[in-house]
Amino acid sequence: MSYSLEGKVVVVSGASMGVGRATAQRFARDGATVVLLARRKLLLDEVAETIGVNAVPIVTDVTCSADVCAAFEQVAAQFGRVDVLVNSAGASRIRLIEEASDDDIAVTVNTNLVAAIYTTRAAIPLRGAGGGDIINISSEITLDDMPLMTLYAATKHGLSGFTKAMNKELRRDSIRVTLLILGAVADTGIHENFGPGDLERAWPIWEADGYLTRMSGTRLLTPPMVADVLYDVVGRPRELMTDVIHVRPASS
């Protein structure tokens, strides 16, 4: 598909690693100015260095309303618009719900759902001429239950509902809102969400349940693969809407 992002302003949350990092790099390679949002300055600066002059790193806790407002105020002052918003920040906890602490609940709900609401709210008034695109990253966990991952599932279901509502509400403004449902992705840094022994406890339970083979299988997507899908979504003719895309490895 022939399409250029030259001159476009793309905001990516969760841009310091995984899908967010790969997406920022992919879009910048095609000429977009990429605004990188993430909490950790060191990682953010590393990504910006790989991109070069097209990168605008802004240290932002996307679960904090004040941080998000400040980031988008900087975008408004510097560029005056947002053409594409990719919400890829995510967090998860391996817990039975009765084991979840207040912090577990707050981190998961705020990162996976509230953050996307904050960034979307801030981006809408800055839509570029002709509309724009908002893409929210979800998970196959919304299609099948995964033991010990209730918090993650609940927030991703919430993101699905939010995306569907925004798709309808923003169509009048020529803003396309897409939900991207992903199978398991390698090199996302998700292991940083888990405590000592969490995976060792969960893995045999997941295998016994059959979730791993029912859904993604044994192979993993890579962040650059996902970034190419995101690029394809944005590059579709403006008269086309892509409401939901489900991407996973072609074979186990």
Q: Is 118 an annotated catalytic residue?
A: no
Instruction: Give the type of residue at 58.
Output: I
Beta-carbon contacts of residue 170 (< 8 Å; ≥ 6 apart)? 124, 134, 176, 177
- Helix (H/G/I), strand (E/B), else coil: 6: coil
SS3 letters across 42-103: HHHHHHHHHHCCCEEEEECCCCCHHHHHHHHHHHHHHCCCECEEEECCCCCCCECHHHCCHH
Taking the C-alpha atoms of residue 225 and residue 241, their distance in angstroms, rounded to an integer, is: 21
Catalytic site residue from 118, 152, 211, 231 = 152
Written as six digits, the tokens of 243 are 């409401």
Active site residues: 152
